[in-house]
Structure 1
Amino acid sequence: MTDHQNSHGQPTGHPVPGWTTRPVPPATAMTGRLCRVEPLVPGDHAADLFEANREDAGGLNWTYLGVDGFTELAPYRAWLDKMAAGADPMFHAIIDLATGRAVGIASYLRIDPANGVIEVGHINYSPRLQQRPAATEAMFLMMRRAFDELGYRRYEWKCDDRNLPSRAAAQRLGFTYEGTFRQALVYKGRNRDTAWFSILDGEWPSVKSAFERWLSPENFDAAGRQKQSLAALRSA
């Protein structure tokens, strides 16, 4: 595809024929084989999430989040009430289908229907979800809604530039690193340089195909170990 040009012959960018404003994500569940991602309802999810997060005894999961970990259920429930009250960020609980319990949260945020741009963030996976296939499936379900169901053009991931696990997760999931915004934020009394990653709609078909092959039961042995990595399947 080539750029259009104006009357002076200057390039004006790739055309987006027939573009219309995209819908806002619906407040409905996304269900996979291993997990369900559903709108956060503190009354339903807070106790499960608090209990699951208690397995993170050192509170490391909260290092790069905007608040510190909670040692009591009541303030955690109050924080979830606040987070779930708005439409953007749109918080979701991640339910382990094997147990029916909430084991993590993630949200859509900076939702921009006019331009077809949406971000995933506020991700907090308890130890019960970390490094398990359901953790990957949850991200796939949220991407699939954004691209296939709603027709968004750009899906973003941002994190503290020092958050090496988050950077690695973004790249494993198929995001492309775009650069770092220096001194973008101050939080917890310290500077945050923010690393930006994205997946575009034109890249989504190959990213989606790799997810589907990776999540297939045939890609795991009897002990639950992957046979091929997500990156290898994407390369293939």
Structure 2
Amino acid sequence: MFAISLGGSAELRPLEPWRAEEFLAHMDRGREHVGRHVGLPDIVPDLDSARAWLRTYADKAAADTGRLYGIWEDGLLVGGVLFRVFDAASGTCEAGCWLEPAAVGRGLVTRATRVIIDWAFRERGMHRVEWHVSSENLPSINVAKRLGMSRDGVLREDSLYRGVRQDTEIWSVLAHEWPGGQAD
């Protein structure tokens, strides 16, 4: 399979169902940290659920409705980026991310997300990439800012997460705003 360098010993690769054990071990290392703002750790508590979640994204990739990539550093899976939603017909998609604590603060998510957004605009001709984030998740908001996204608004108390209502910020970047992106 392909691997895209993210600098140093980090690379971006497809995260596929056959990597379920590796994915679960990664999630176990970062479960508490990732789970502060993202529901992924709750969805994949064991090997069967990890395999099923990865299979969901393999199916989405086959249907052209989503994509999933892992971030490896020194050969160890430390995080991921994805297109949770990918609607080629409308030209809109939603990117997202997660990262275990040992890999935080080195720009891995920003670089990996830049790669997939660039692909969406240049190769797929997408018009808009969105970033949905809890208003409490400052590191993820900072990624949106570093990517040149604009804050479109806040969905007040729209999401019930672990029994608490939270606000969701919507950030986006349009193709004509992206360096070297497609123009309509």
CA 1:130–1:79: 2 relative to 1, 3 Å: farther
Q: Deviation of residue 144 (structure 1)?
A: 1.1
**Per-residue Cα deviation, 1:51-96 (whole angstroms, up to 9, x for no partner):** 4445448x12211112446997536634544543540443221223
Flag the 1:36–1:75 CA change in 2: closer, same or farther, 3 A: same
Judge conservation of contact 2:27–2:41 (CA < 8 Å) in 1: no
In 2 relative to 1, CA 115–126 (structure 1 residues): closer, same or farther, beyond 3 Å?
same
Structure showing the higher helix proportion among its residues: 2
The question of 1:94 aligning with 2:71 is answered yes
Cα 1:134–1:69 shift into 2, 3 Å: same
Instruction: Show the 5 A alignment for 1:39-188.
Output: 39-44=14-19, 46-56=20-30, 59-68=32-41, 74=47, 77-78=50-51, 80-81=53-54, 83-87=56-60, 88-96=65-73, 99-121=74-96, 123-188=97-162
**What is the match of residue 195 of structure 1?**
169
> 5+ unaligned residues in a row in structure 1: which ranges?
1-27, 208-236
Q: Distance in 1 between matches of 2:4 and 2:54?
A: 24
- In structure 2, list runs of 5 or more residues that go unmatched: none
For residue 5 of structure 2, the aligned residue among 21, 25, 32 is 32
Structure 2 length normalisation: TM-score? 0.78
Count of aligned residue pairs for this structure pair: 175
* Structure 1: distance between partners of 2:107 and 2:159: 32
Contact map agreement 1:29 1:36 (CA 8 A) in 2:
no
> How many percent identity over aligned positions?
26
1:154 positional shift = 0.8
TM-score by length of 1: 0.62
Does the CA contact (< 8 Å) of 1:30 and 1:141 recur in 2?
Answer: no
Which stretch shifts more, 109-118 or 141-150? Answer: 109-118
Which one has the largest radius of gyration? 1
Q: Distance in 2 between matches of 1:71 and 1:93?
A: 16
Q: Give the secondary structure class of the aligned counterpart of 1:132.
A: coil
Query: For residues 71 and 106 of structure 1, do their structure 2 counterparts lie closer, same or farther at Cα, with a shift above 3 Å needed?
Result: closer
Structure that is richer in strand per residue:
2
